[in-house]
């Protein structure tokens, strides 16, 4: 049974009034994202052809699932409600970006080389102290962040609290990174 508007409001009020909600299980992860795309093949050309994800399953010309490392799917792509559609207009709600976590700085450097080879422009590149990130748009205008996390012991803390930053990322230095 759905919660009434009154009970939903009281839950939000409790959190905003300073009461702490019980934390979520620390093992919870975001398993996948499912994107509405206007052209399935164009999306597959980007996610598989440029970024290197593997196609794990396809449902005709309407949907496909892609993954890294044999997982069932990290990204679902479909045209069920969006075939031939356009990207959401600025100023509307929706997905800001999906973030793809790379296992190492060398793997992120490889991703940057793939983007350069495909002629895909970056919208930004940042050093967040905890991570280094590349920002771009997929062919449907969805925001995409490609990043790697520094080891936790290298994260910036000040007065015992995490102190993330946003500084320019040195792309030339990143491109010099090679896997061992």
Q: CA of 169: how far to CAs of 19, 98, 144, 151, in Å?
A: 38, 19, 16, 17
Number of domains in the chain: 2
Same domain, 178 and 101: yes
pLDDT tens for the 180 residues of the chain, in order: 444 444 445 455 556 667 788 999 999 998 999 999 999 999 999 999 999 999 999 999 999 999 999 999 999 999 999 999 999 888 999 999 999 999 999 999 999 999 999 999 999 999 999 999 999 999 999 999 999 999 999 999 999 999 999 999 999 999 999 976
Q: What is the pLDDT of residue 19?
A: 77
Q: What is the pLDDT of residue 132?
A: 98
Q: What is the pLDDT of residue 20?
A: 82
Same domain, 115 and 48: no
Structural domain of 45? 31-83
Q: What is the pLDDT of residue 170?
A: 98
Q: What is the pLDDT of residue 180?
A: 60
pTM for this model (two decimals) = 0.87
For residue 9, being part of any structural domain is answered with no
Same domain, 118 and 42: no
Same domain, 68 and 143: no
CA-closest candidate to residue 118, choices 63, 21, 52: 52
| Interstrand relation of 63-67 and 124-127 (parallel, antiparallel or unpaired) | unpaired
Query: What CATH number is attached to the domain comprising 68?
Result: 3.10.180.10
Q: What is the pLDDT of residue 179?
A: 76
Q: What is the pLDDT of residue 7?
A: 45
């Amino acid at each position: 049974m759905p919660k009434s508007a009154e009970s939903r409001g009281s839950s939000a009020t409790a959190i905003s009034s300073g009461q702490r909600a019980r934390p979520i299980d620390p093992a919870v992860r975001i398993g996948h994202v499912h994107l509405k795309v206007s052209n399935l093949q164009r999306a597959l050309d980007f996610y598989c052809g440029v970024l290197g994800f593997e196609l794990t399953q396809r449902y005709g010309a309407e949907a496909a699932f892609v993954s890294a490392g044999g997982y069932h799917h990290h990204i679902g792509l479909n045209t069920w409600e969006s075939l031939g559609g356009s990207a959401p207009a600025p100023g509307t709600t929706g997905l800001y970006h999906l973030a793809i976590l790379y296992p190492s700085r060398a793997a992120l450097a490889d991703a940057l080389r793939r983007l350069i080879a495909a002629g895909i422009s970056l919208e930004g590149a940042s050093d967040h102290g905890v991570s280094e990130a590349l920002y771009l748009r997929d062919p449907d205008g969805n925001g995409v962040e490609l990043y790697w996390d520094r080891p936790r012991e290298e994260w910036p803390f000040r007065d015992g609290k995490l102190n993330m930053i946003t500084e320019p990322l040195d792309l030339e230095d990143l491109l010099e990174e090679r896997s061992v």
